[in-house]
Structure 1
């Protein structure tokens, strides 16, 4: 009996072990599939983000084209009208910026006392936690004082660490105030014994860019030797137009006089230009926002007049140019200065030489890649991709050991590459979607390895199981991808039909994927994503017109041509920036003549093959009160995507595993 009992127990143990192994293997496979789907969703978000940045960078050539040709449209003095469109002046008097703006007794927000102390940092933090808005008087004063101090700083700040004085480096925050609060909660406030480097991209995308900027600037004014601010590619007034910071300023200070919020935007532009472009830690670690290239010259970058780098979208102009404006060859000198003004017979504006401008672009925009060499950054449209060999070459040339950069969202908040010589740090958690990524910061001390600290601001979705979080993120990613697809419906349909030689309405999966990549240029794993985007028959063929199912672009008027609707929807962000440039008071109203003139330039430069009469007709329809002007913001809002079913993917077990 004893032997039989022992044998039975052994068999039961073996069965239990096999069952446990089966469950373990199933769970590992299940989790691996979820992680793969999470990776695909992040790839979609990042690919579309970079494509938008590429479009933004391409605007630089359009602006150059526009400023060279706008004089052919109007013979009178021309002036692009925008919040930045003021002529460059020397140092403004403090009176112009601050003292003419009174703080009323009814204001119950934080009141800063200059010169600032650590008490003001605490005051600001508490106020922003209560979602109070800092009065424009204090915003201007902080920006004005910050610019004064920044002007005294070198292009690269040199910092020394010690066991008693570790340095904390933070990456992109992008207006996500909760992440900054989390960093300060975990790591402590800036102080003489707790120095920080904030490595650019403080603003844009998030809702609290001005709050983050105020906290950083006030902390910088209190501890100018212990809090360091590097410029990022979003510390750029033209980037702010597309990615939200300008709108945030207008929203939070819209009740003020036009001149007041214009001054905020104007001094922001000047402050950006004076931000240092990098930090060097212990003479061995280079900290810049984007990266390097094979031609990066740190000696040159130490000497450049960084304040002349107003925007990545303002290309270097070596000389002023003359343009014929009529048949009598009346020459008008057209100059586009840093604030965007076109002036007749203006004097040339100071710009960086082209090679210096390109050096700073590389510092702000470049990304590391695993492949050796240095290649144009086709994803973003600016800077370069640099390989491990380029990293080794530049670090060795300047006796450096490591490059710390930001600029890219990473699932874990940081990433190490190029044999440990390049570290990416990204501090905005939940960047694309709740639960999409962690944030992180680095602590450095001379003689020791960098230490990484991760966090994720906890929202309701972060308590959900991984399965639900992945589904939420994936649904959001597929939704924005479908919007990109529908904006190219006409082009995609033509591409599909060219491949469909038998006119069956079906293509092989590889043919469909080729068309998607060729037209959209997003470098995505289309085969893996196909089950969420199209119908596939039992033979594995794609019903290609199902690429557009359950989604369409709403037309403002039924008579509008589909191609025109797609084009206006696709370029809506670019057009908004361009047309904002001729809207002096941000009323949103522009004349029909201005609308038509700017459209002609836009369509000519971008080679948009749409009959101008279609656009003119549509604009006339949008002139609701027939006063000869249109509300351009409303015009753009009239083109929006409708998702017939918000649940683009069913959260069933088969789809989730």
Structure 2
């Protein structure tokens, strides 16, 4: 495609030919969007905007950004569309659709109410408005309940009274540690479309919380002694609730064991009709192999994401609210980072808004909480905002680092949400949370923490490295930032739309990454749509862009209105 550069002055009117070209690019963008080629759609809409910046073009690009989960960019485009044409209804709808996944419920509700006011006959807009109001009420109710509850649910629930009746035909949880036989039996049971007994699910969650509470926020993972080097590796996986693709990884690389360790890099849920099966499988494997299965927290292991993206609805459908509340407790205790052999840092998202963050700072993070929305919002200078007690008035929590002048808890959001960018420096996040960080930021962080220099005596020839996930990559992985940053994404054909490969990474004693790519597998045809539709985020049945196929979830980010 030829590059198009057009400069419009304040009073310049585009020619008829230019307007026609802009419309052609817009139509190409629409075709790409319908074909699930979202990056191409964004490119086409961007060219159309450069020729003729209209509300329709900005709004359509916002729709494509929403499909790419670039909610920050979607908010900018939708707001620009409203600025250009305050009467353009779809722009308000799309801004609401971008605000909702970010947890900006009141902002989303404001726009939904605007849509209803502008188009009172829209049953869909009224439904979205009511659903958003319901989410706000639920959040307020949950906060009130939590303030009244002095002890967490895990400390008050009694599972001993629960009885496993004779009609249950699934595997029985061992009284001691789960065995590999139990792991394989559970996988087979899940493949048949059946669930573990509720008692066993509760017991697994309680055992997981106890185990995770004892772990540090930053895991230190060795690869074994020299005598074990030929059989010891560590495999990094980032799936997204796609149970049958997770099973395929085990078919390709084997089940976890003492000689086949795994690190699962967050976002276990919210991406599938089988998110529950995925996360229970991983929890059972962690209990069976506590030193050889490692689980890190992703941005979707949180209450807000679970409510918006379907995991809460799935769990309540398959079990109940008690089980869901226990999941939330367990998620809060998942570690946030892992360091392999003091040379490779693994996180779900990325790096930080500020320089000179240390691994010790990460270790200090009080992770037993819902993640703050943005690390940028939790940085302050001590002389300006401290009230004399060491507390942060805005957060009502005690700061943990007075030396560098930033609140360590603010780092949590960056670890879970940030993304790399190809150019130097830092920039705003396309998602609206976290930030974008350049190759210079990656290099400086690794150097400041001596990653890659602590084991020089081993004479390994692979340098320092950051491994993260959080983004779809066409080939399942991407090496960037002068080979100092790797993104790995293990969910192939994401949302049954993207056509991407999945990948996982293996590290042996030489610490060289070895990549395995794979494609999506055939899974059973199961009608899981009604599960998500029963949640507060149900999407009207006529919408063709709101269903994520295998994932079977209906989400707020649906492009229910066709592009213009």
- Whether the aligned pair in 2 keeps the contact of 1:308 and 1:350 (CA below 8 Å) is no
Change (3 A) 1:395 1:438: same
Check whether the contact 1:57–1:312 (CA below 8 A) recurs between aligned residues. no
The partner residue of 1:298 within 356, 359, 362 is 359
SS of the aligned residue for 2:193 comes to coil
Q: Does the alignment pair 1:50 with 2:69?
A: yes
Structure 1 residue aligned with 2:423, among 371, 374, 398? 371
Whether 1:142 aligns to 2:204 is yes
Gaps of at least 5 residues in structure 1 are 1-33, 67-77, 254-260, 319-347, 461-478, 484-571, 575-636, 649-657
Residues 120 and 297 (structure 1), Cα distance of their counterparts in 2 relative to 1, 3 Å cut: same
TM-superposed deviation, 1:91: 5.2
In the alignment, structure 1 residue 114 sits paired with structure 2 residue 188 = no
SS of equivalent to 1:154: coil
Change in Cα spacing, 1:160 to 1:104, as seen in structure 2 (3 Å) is same
Question: What is the distance in 1 between the residues matched to 2:183 and 2:501?
Answer: 26
Cα deviation, 1:205-242, whole Å, max 9, x if unaligned, reads 21111101111001001111110000000000110111
Q: State how many pairs are aligned.
A: 395
> Using CA pairs below 8 Å that are at least 6 residues apart, which structure has the higher relative contact order?
1
Aligned match of 2:190 in 87, 103, 128? 128
Residue 435 of structure 2 corresponds to 384
CA distance in 2, matches of 1:482, 1:452: 32
> Are 1:573 and 2:556 matched, yes or no?
yes
Question: Residue 483 of structure 2 aligns with which residue?
Answer: 420
Counterpart contact for 2:491–2:502, Cα < 8 Å: yes
CA contact (8 A) 1:309 1:352 kept: no
The 8 Å contact of residues 220 and 341 in structure 2, kept in 1 or not, is answered as yes
Q: Residues 233 and 181 (structure 1 numbering): CA distance in 2 closer, same or farther, change over 3 Å?
A: same
What is the rounded CA distance, in whole Å, between the counterparts of 1:252 and 1:398 in structure 2? 45
Confirm or deny: 8 A CA contact 2:209 2:329 kept in the other structure.
yes
> 1:244 aligned to 2:303?
no
Asked if 1 retains the 8 angstrom alpha-carbon contact of 2:374 and 2:414, the reply is: no
- Give the whole-Å Cα distance in 1 for the aligned partners of 2:487 and 2:213: 28
TM-score (norm 2): 0.63
2:260 counterpart of 1:194: yes
State the secondary structure of the residue aligned to 1:59: coil
Q: Compared with structure 1, are the counterparts of its residues 419 and 39 closer, same or farther at alpha carbon in structure 2 (3 Å cutoff)?
A: farther
- Distance change (3 Å), C-alpha of 1:88 and 1:382: farther
Give me the whole-angstrom Cα distance separating, in 2, the residues matched to 1:458 and 1:411. Answer: 16
Give the C-alpha shift of residue 269 in structure 1: 1.3
- SS of aligned partner of 1:127: helix
Q: Matches of 2:321 and 2:545 in 1, distance apart?
A: 37
Query: 1:106: Cα distance to partner?
Result: 1.6
The runs of at least 4 consecutive aligned structure 1 residues that moved more than 6 Å come to 34-39, 313-318, 351-354, 479-483
> How many angstroms apart in 2 are the aligned matches of 1:317 and 1:380?
18
Q: Report the 3-state secondary structure (helix = DSSP H, G, I; strand = E; otherwise coil) of the residue aligned with 1:359.
A: helix
- Kindly report the root-mean-square deviation, in angstroms, between the aligned alpha carbons of the 2 structures: 3.9
- Equivalent residue for 2:133? none
Q: Which runs of 5+ in 2 are unaligned?
A: 1-30, 42-63, 73-97, 111-137, 224-228, 380-394, 401-405, 452-463, 524-541, 547-554
